[in-house]
Amino acid sequence: MRIGLITPEPDHPLLADTAALLTPEHRVETLDPKTVVDVLEPLADVYLLKSRTPRALALARDLEQRGAPVVNSAAATALCQDRTAMAEQARRAGLPFAATRTVTALTQLASGPRLPGPVVVKSRHSRKHDLVARIDNDRQLRELAAAYPQEPVVVQEFAPNSGWDHKLWVVGDQLFAALRRSELSPAGQGSARPLALDDLPPGWPAFARRVGEVFELDVYGVDVIDTGDGAPLIVDINAFPGVRGQAGAPEALAALTLRRTNRSSTAGMRRATGARGKSSATAATPAS
């Protein structure tokens, strides 16, 4: 089978390790969205979308329109880039997502009413090196607005917590977890610390998988904080995160990839069989 990687970084540890597992029996190709203009037929059996740039999304949409399966889909990936749409989707589905309001530009927030208390301000559009900051007072807000005057942002009330983010990653049917110091922590984020699934509060694995159902994601990450007594609050959802340092993640991604190729091949055979059946039936019908 042929597997395509839509990424400018095929040496990313998760992708590189997954490719190493697949290549003994399958062909793995890289499509760099910065340089690939079109993909010629025949298409690969499945594509893994590990990029969120406009060009990568456009490439994925084109492949989907031509019948190729893409993991995750372009639509699901794009939804997770818009934090306003993400929050609306999650809260409609009853997921414990942080209450989120949208402001057209950061200067608008700075010139509005005083903040009721500590808030978290994030770029509305999720991307590499985007804005994520805790704001405790008007001075901090003015300074942030001076640095990012026209940045569209979302605002979430700061929820008291331990200062540690729970990183939940789902790859196909496998769940992985870690603890990482919040990026809002004065000490900085630091590296992730593995967390056994048995150490998660009750119900967390189920709602992590529910996120995949709601957002139609196969590979994703959920950033969660514990607001007390195991009560979860989702603060972000990421399509196809790095899942670095998690034993078994490349194997889970390789297995998911092969399941998707098999599913695609079976669907294609059914369509072809159906088309042949219709053609034969038509040919056998006598003329009136």
Averages of pLDDT over runs of 10 residues in the chain (288 residues) are 96 97 96 92 96 96 96 98 97 95 95 88 92 93 95 92 90 95 68 88 94 98 92 94 92 96 55 40 32
Which contacts (CB < 8 Å, 24+ apart) does range 9-14 have? 9/50, 12/50, 12/242, 13/242, 13/244, 14/50, 14/242, 14/243, 14/244, 14/249, 14/250, 14/253
State the pLDDT at residue 115: 84
The beta-strand segments (E) located in 150-283 are 153-157, 164-171, 174-181, 193-194, 219-226, 232-239
State the pLDDT at residue 183: 75
CA distances from 197 to 95, 169, 206, 208, 261 (A): 20, 11, 11, 12, 29
State the pLDDT at residue 182: 80
**Running DSSP on this structure, what letter comes out for residue 260?**
H
Tokens 């040919």 found at: 283
State the pLDDT at residue 190: 63
State the pLDDT at residue 33: 96
State the pLDDT at residue 64: 97
